[in-house]
Structure 1
Amino acid sequence: MSTDETAPERTLVEAVSDGLHTEMARDDTVVALGEDIGASGGVFRATDGLYDRFGRERVVDTPLAESGIVGTAVGLAANGMRPVPELQFMGFVYPAFDQIINHAARLRTRSRGRYSCPMTIRMPFGGGIRAPEHHSESKEAFFVHEAGLKVVVPSTPYDTKGLLASAIRDPDPVIFLEPKLIYRSFREAVPEESYTVPLGEAAVRREGADVSVFTWGAMTRPTMEAAENLAADGVDCEVLDLRTLSPIDRDAIVDSFKKTGRAVVVHEAPRTGGLAGEITSLIQEEALLYQEAPVTRVTGFDVPYPLYALEDYYLPEAARIEDGIREAVEF
């Protein structure tokens, strides 16, 4: 977390924009491409000002063709550039799966190290903004399952800029998931200068002794709210924001669980096959003898993402997270 009180305060989406501006100014091999990212500044205005500053050679408006966007980025990355393709919503990624899984993730392995694929695929993801169908998916587990990809999910503006810089500078492909529910929810100080936040390291958002709560992205804020509410009842929650889902910070998870003996995992993705299951398995394998209660999962449901009238019932919110924490503590 930044301690520079003179730094300008930015929202999360402004931190994305600032990070892109900073990295493109720092390294002229960084290029941005995607639908409407140029003169219009992107559907969420995350690329606002890039076109005017860096020009059409480095900020490229593409056709509506996700496979083409990512495939072009793979070719650029293999030839010395550092492309940052944007897919407008995570729900639009499926046409690009072939390029991501069969080419971007495997380029280093297939070429026996001759080529790498330093590209950062930006995707707004998650629900809560009353969007139509295909705009609210939270399917991070798809990408965590694939060797060769890193998966990053920021939850604060400061982390967003630093993690984005680390992703762009990384020698391999990174899926950079931006929780659009909190794009403009709050502000915090974000330094104007270049800085990085390391990939693969979780952040302890709240220290506690009774139960460890693991979460990421937009679910970090309601999890913190639930933890503060429970503190009034004497329940001392430790909240870990994982930030990077692949590689996941195994040591931070295990160390926290050894301290508390109880765990809750909160994510908005569907329960079955979600990352909560992987985290639960990690705890079983590495810290079974410290366990005082079953691991509780507070997640989305195993249904298609609902339209806006039912969105609030689908997403974990503070009250449901509190119930999950109580279940673990009172076992």
Structure 2
Amino acid sequence: MGNAMWAMRLLIDQSFPPKSKFNVEDIPDLTGKIVIVTGGNTGVGKETIKALLQHNAKVYMASRSKEKAEEAIADLKEDTGKDAIFLQLDLASLDAVKKATEEFASKETKLHILFNNGGVMFPPVKEVTTDGYDLQFGTNVIGHFYFTKLLLPTLLETAKTSPDGKVRVVNTSSSMHMFANLHFDTFRDGKKRAQMRTTKLYAQSKLGNVAFARELARRYGDQGIVSTSLNPGNLKTDLQRHVPSLLRKILDLSLYPAPYGALTQLYAGTSPGGADLNGKYLIPWARVGTARKDSSDPETGVSLWEWLEEQVKDL
């Protein structure tokens, strides 16, 4: 009961945040910076790309649907006068993830900021990835782990030539990470997984995001990787498309527009202060917060990392 009450207090604090001290106008000039935003064709990802383009970054929109991405790129061109670049990426297919990194490597030798922003929320439990993983954990955690792993050589080389010796990996989690544990026997399709609610599977994947971000920070922080995770806030985006209509109407009363959700990850990814946030968990709006205690436990991080490595070792 104590843990539940603690989680609820944190949830309330993050649901009604004070006015942000960081705004899009505070982003420094990003000329020469190369950035990838996963899931960038809609919602928070699209707003993130909009702000990055406005500050002269070269941005790759890593999305599954070429048609939807091209529509979003056209919208952003109209808003900013600048073009994002489409990168085909299906996080629910490890083969597609590998192809995306190969495509990126054929065009670029540097990567300054990686926003692991994409994800799915509350799909039917029966849905799984191409490789047979739970759709939410497979997309939100495994896909991003493999994407980041394959991009690490480029990130590390970029850090060596960056003025501050750093690059940034920003991992979008959720306040719901506080209401789950990592059940390794539910990451793949199976009987135990089938008995879990889709909300629990989502929360578990968001805890996975935080634990992965912390472990990445521990392993590579001394080589210039600044890895953070964050709760973007309670937002009205396409991510709620699987939420039942009645619940969605109730939730809408307390949801913020998507541009608010971009603030915290833009702060982590672009602000001068963000360079000192390695291993931190951020909350709305652009504040350092407190994640679940076990998410920063090295034992949890090592166990998850080793499991993830095992899944992709033969690819």
Bucket of the pairwise TM-score, normalised by the shorter protein: 0.3 to 0.5
Pair member with larger Rg: 1
Which structure shows the bigger proportion of residues in helix conformation?
A: 2
Report 1 or 2 for greater relative contact order, CA contacts < 8 Å, sequence distance ≥ 6: 2
